[in-house]
Amino acid sequence: MATTTFRAFRAEMATAVRAITPTTELGDKAAKFTEFHDSIDFREWAQANPDNCTRTFSIADMFDDDPVEISDATADLQPIRCEVLVGYQHDYKYGANKLRDMESVIREDYRSIELALGIHGQANYTVGCTIKEDGPPFDVEVYDGVSVLVVPYLCRFYQSVS
């Protein structure tokens, strides 16, 4: 049976998100999803850098794993919770209806992420795994100057016991 690690699985998730062609173009805003690479928390970074956060995303390990579901001498079926986080600046360049248009863009982006990563996105993974939303489909956290789309997932994959 093929095994993997969360690092490899997260890399495939990130590749799938970067490949998304957003439904709505945002003029001078980021047209594509850009992965966040830094040593600080994504939410903190987005609040400190609202000008650079639109459609910047991070896939964060929640470190809230369920117990191993199946195990044998070579591999464990490991469930791991993660969140896909995407930032949106409150500059209201999303359309004439400002806040409502930003909300529409966030909802469109959520749907695109779910199609790329969730139950419809299984073809995007080369490792043996399953992924499904964990809890409510998504949430939007609102901070001063920025909103963060939060999409929780429960990932299951076989991990080597050695």
pLDDT, tens digit (0-9, with 9 covering 90-100), for 73-119? 888 888 888 999 999 999 877 777 788 888 989 999 999 999 898 87
**CA separation for the pair 10, 15 (Å, rounded):** 9
Measured between alpha carbons, how far is residue 115 from residues 2, 21, 35, 66, 108 in Å?
24, 12, 18, 25, 11
Instruction: Assign domain 6-160 to a CATH class.
Output: alpha beta
Q: How many CB atoms lie within 10 A of CB 13?
A: 25
pTM: 0.87
Query: What's the pLDDT at 26?
Result: 62
